[in-house]
Structures are given as C-alpha cells and as structure tokens.
A and B are shown apart, each in its own frame.
Chain A
Amino acid sequence: MVDMDLADVLSLYRQMLLIRRFEEKSAEMYALAKIAGFLHLYIGEEAIAVGAIASLRPDDYAISAYRDHGHCLARGSDPNRVMAELFGKATGLCKGKGGSMHLVDLPHRFMGGYAIVGGHIPLATGLAFANKYQSLDLVTVCFFGEGALPSGQAHEAFNLAALWKLPVIFICENNRYGMGTPAERAIALYGNVAETARSYGIAAESVDGMDVLAVRSVMQRVVAQVRAGHGPWFIEATTYRFMGHSMADPAHGHYRTKEEVEEYRKRDPLTLLKNTMMAQKLADEADFKQLEREIGEVMRAAVKFAEESPFPARSDLHADVVQE
C-alpha cells in the first residue's frame, strides 16, 4: 500500500480536480466563442501531470506538447492567467500571444507547450544539457504523446540524451490515439513503446497513468536516479483521453466507439483516487463537496478575470519579436 499522508493525497486530488474543472470550463468558453483556435483538453490524463510534477522541485524544468494546460496548472501556474491566455488577453501568461498550445510560465519553470509533434523533445535535452553543463542537480521532465514517438526528432533526442547521460525524464503519455490513428497503426512497437527508449540504452518502464499514486511513486524513484546523474529515463504512462482530440473532434468520433470510451471512463483517475481515499477513510463525501465548491470558485474567478482583462493593444503586435 502506498504511504498515504492525508494533506499530500488531498493535494493531488485537488490538483487533478482543478485541471478537470479548468478543462471543462475551457470547453464551455470555447462553445461560447470566448476561446478560439485549437483547444486540446487533458480530461482523463490528469494523473500523469499531477503525479509526475508532484515529484519535482520548484526549480526543475517541465516542458510539454500542445495538450499542455494540465502540465502548466500542475506546475503551479495561476488559473486566472492561464484562462486569460486562452481568451487571448494581455494579462495571459504569454500576453495573449501564445494561446492554448503555447503556454509558458518561466517563474514556475514551465518551459512551454509546443505544437510541432516531436519538436520540443530536443529542447528538453537542451534544458537538461544546460543543467549538466552548469553542474546543477536539476532534472527536466518532458511530456509528449505516443503520437510523437515515430518522429525523427524524438529519436534524435533519445540518442543524444543517452549518449551524453543527460538528466532528462521523457514521459510518454500513451493515450492510444494520435488524433484519430490508433497506436497499432502508427508505432511498430506499439505493444511495448518503452522498448523504443531501451533500444537507445535508456532505462524505461511503464506505469498506469490513471493512478496518480502509482505515477508519483515511480517518478519519485526515477527523479532521484536522474538527479543523481545516472542518465535519462523514459516512462510510458498508459492513459486515455475522454474527450476528442481537440474541440473539433467529438468525444468518440469515427475512429473509436462510445463503448470503448465508456469502458475507460470506469478508470477515471479522479474516481480511482477518490475511491481509494474513501476506502482508507481519509476523506468523506463532505470533504469532496467542499473541494468542489472551492474549485468552482477558482473557476468562476478565472473566467471573470479573463473576461474583464483587456486584449493586448495593437501597438503590442511587434513587441518581443526580438529583444528591443
């Protein structure tokens, strides 16, 4: 049995709930045309960001792909400023210039969401390289979907990370679909994607990405190894996205069945942790209701903040292309 400290576990649940409600609110705001462009929701995958990031120090780096709200929030970003960024407002994390797929929060060491599949994985090796170069005992955690695995840039990054023993942890969020294409039609080693990393000599393992305690437990061990200078790690976290690929894609779509989605929903990471906490008598329904009220308030405040914030001025268009 995992060691269960109440405050600790409650905090994990709270973060997952924050992400869940944030994503639901984002979808609502998208439907109201307050948010435009691409919007990729993290619903169903919350346990990975929360479990992994809970094992980091505040000065460690995290970097992600385009489904990045969860990682950013788990890193500690202000939901008001994340929501404002989705609204394209001047008070957003990136002053309205990044948007959903390009959240960056430097003070929280969230080094960005990137939207060319596989393209940010070399950046993660670079962050890790810089830490090693400066003899800092920091680790870099790089999140990406299994859809990035066949990309050349992923393989170039794995090779360099292994070759130079860089302190980086690659977390493959295997939600089984690269947009609408299932892993078995995209990845030669789809049944064992961790083998991809092992072929480069990278230590690798798989974890149940629906179980936040399992993710955290694996990560605590792995982070210690990587921080101690034993080279990179690869973690496959098996998961499932409950929503469509983006807001343009309905919850199940043509490429998977409603039954399949329902089957995975039985292992909802929030429900799993809640059941464990109830079984262990760490919390009761009243506690969860209280938490819901609290997070509901955070969401109302975030939307209000985003709504009331101004758009950037036209004069900001050319700012930050290069250093002025």
Chain B
Amino acid sequence: MELSYREALNQAMREEMRRDQRVFLIGEDVAYYQGAFKVSKGFIEEFGPQRVIDTPITEAGFTGLAIGAAMAGLHPIVELMTMNFGIVALDQIVNNAAKIRYMSGGQLSVPLVIRGPGSAAHQLGAQHSQSLEAWFCHVPGLKVIAPATPHDAKGLLKSAIRNPDPVIFIEAQLLYSTKGEVQEGEFTIPIGVAEVKRTGRDVTIVAYSKMLLLALEAADALSREGVEAEVIDLRTLKPLDLQTIVASVKKTGRLVIVEEGWHFCGLGAQIAESVYSATFDYLDGPIRRVTGEDVPMPYCRPLEDAAIPDLPRVIEAVKSLL
C-alpha cells in the first residue's frame, strides 16, 4: 500500500502500542494537538491520555522521566518536537540513557526510543535546522537510525520500539509528506542493515535520510550521461553496516558520501575512515564527501541553499572520481 512517511510512522507506533501495553508516547503536544507534525494523529482517541502524554516544554525533565520509566521496565517513545531540542536533553541522553546499562554492569537497561525530525526544512533558522546525528553516533550505548522511505521508517521504528537499548530515531520534516510503497501486514526491518537502493557499477554513493532522495536523483541524472551509480541507504547509522558499503566499493572502486550535517567531524569522516581501512587497495581515487557547510544555518533561502548539499555538488563529486 502507498503511505506517506508520516502515516508509516503512525502505523508503526500504533501497531506496537496495540501489541505491548508497556509502550507509551510522551512529548510536547503529542496528544490533543496530534503531534507538531501530526505523526500521532488519532492516538489520543485510541489509547487515551494514560498512554499518549502531553508534556510541558521540559525536554530534560520528560526525557529523564522516560529513561527512569524504561529502567522500571516500560518502553517509552519520546517525541522531540525537533531533534534540535534534544540538545536540551543531552545530559539525560548521554549521561543516563547511554551509560546506565554499562555503569550498572548490565543490571539495568533502558529500552527507549527518542524520535523526531532532524536536519533542515525550509528557512527555519539556525536553531531549528541542525543535523546532529554525528553527536549521537559518537556516544557508546546509543543506536541511531535515520530512515529515508516510508517502508523503512515503519519497519525500523517497530524494531526500535522492541529494542532493549536506547535508540535515537531521526526523521526529517521534509520527508513527512513523501510517499512510498509500504509492505502490507506485520513486518520489521532489522537495525544495523543498510540497503542498496539502486545498483550500479561505476561509483558508490552512500547517503541516508533526506539525502538519500538527493543521491537517487543524482544517480538518475548520471545515468542519462552513461554513469551508473550504486546508491546505498544506510538506514541505521549506528551500528554501521560497513559490510554492505565495503562490498559495493570493492565493486565500483569509488565512493561518495552525502550527508547534510556539518563537514568537520561529520559522520562521513568516520565512514570514510572505516572504508579506507577495509578497501584501500580497491579504491581508484580518494573518497569524496558532500556535506553541509560549517556554518550555523542561515535564514535566507539563497544562503540556506548554499549551506546544504544539492544536485550539482553530488554530480560534481561523482564526476571528479571518474
């Protein structure tokens, strides 16, 4: 069936909440407002205020509360209105959620999903347009997922909710209304498995979330010029499915990594290091990264466009390797 990304997330949470009483949704305006981006549409009607919980604007407070509830055996889903607000809750996420299993020698666990939109939308300004996935990926104890399609969003969110560890689940505001085919009935997608979204022999493009759509668009354009790009959707950022990337790079000999986050210490730097270590002898050229610019996101459209990877930059990066 064809679903929007938003509907796919809604289904995933709805199915898991029907399946497991321990699962509840908590966040700002998730109940009566139905979510800032309407992801929890219809939830308050079906599950009631005990399981669909509006919070005050207190990210550290309710994220910490959810972690405590998870320690006591519940499976909370925390909706951050945007991932930017996760910075306010970062002490809870990094110092508590990520470390409690380890510090307790495995006695405690924190089965928790923290989800919400990351990356830029259109002209939301510097404080609402960040791609912070590299921050979360840096922290041992966290898993990080950033799906690009409705099908992956549904299957991975269901897996995240069932996971025994804290999962940061990054959506994108500009993906919510995108549509795609979603498998009928009950299914999950395993965490930590990338997918080849398009096969090709000449170059590998690795991308995730919103940037996957750009990578596929670039691959189509390149194809018209006779260049066949293989496009890998990471889907899970941590644990990274290096095997799938390595297999592709061994075939193509060329790699371009597209990410919206800042360049310096970005996720692509880590992926490049891992790929170099595993495939150095197979590479026909340096690994290229197409990234966000190292600036706070500017408000005006021309500068915002300049700060985010676009089609010409991806195509240029690929061509520089040929």
B105 to chain A, nearest CB (A): 4
Residues of A within 8 Å of B185, CB to CB, are: none
Interface magnitude class on chain A: 35 or more
Interface magnitude class on chain B: 35 or more
Question: Which of B79-87, B94-102, B227-235 lies at the interface?
Answer: B94-102
Within 8 Å of chain A (Cβ to Cβ): is B321? no
The interface bits of chain A over 139-171 (1 if a CB of B lies within 8 angstroms of the residue's CB, else 0) are 000000000000011001101100100000000
Within 8 Å of chain B (Cβ to Cβ): is A95? yes
Contact A321 B105 (CB under 8 A): no
B221 to chain A, nearest CB (A): 40
The interface bits of chain B over 46-70 (1 if a CB of A lies within 8 angstroms of the residue's CB, else 0) are 0000100001101011111111111
Q: Residue on A with the closest CB to B62?
A: A160
The interface bits of chain B over 96-115 (1 if a CB of A lies within 8 angstroms of the residue's CB, else 0) are 10001111111111000000
Residues of B within 8 Å of A97, CB to CB, are: 102-105
Within 8 Å of chain B (Cβ to Cβ): is A116? yes
User: Of A116, A122, A131, A134, which is in contact with the most chain B CB atoms at under 10 Å from its CB?
Assistant: A122
A322 to B96, CA, bound (A): 13
A133-B96 CB under 8 A given contacts A159-B58, A321-B102: no
A319 to B103, CA, bound (A): 11
A323 to chain B, nearest CB (A): 4
Residues of A within 8 Å of B70, CB to CB, are: 126
Contact B61 A106 (CB under 8 A): no
A113 to B2, CA, bound (A): 49
Contact B58 A156 (CB under 8 A): yes
A56 to B65, CA, bound (A): 22
Q: Residue on B with the closest CB to A153?
A: B60
Contact A94 B72 (CB under 8 A): no
Within 8 Å of chain B (Cβ to Cβ): is A123? yes
B238 to chain A, nearest CB (A): 10
Within 8 Å of chain B (Cβ to Cβ): is A92? yes
**7 residue pairs, one from A and one from B, having the closest CB atoms:** A126-B68, A122-B64, A156-B61, A130-B72, A95-B105, A94-B105, A123-B68
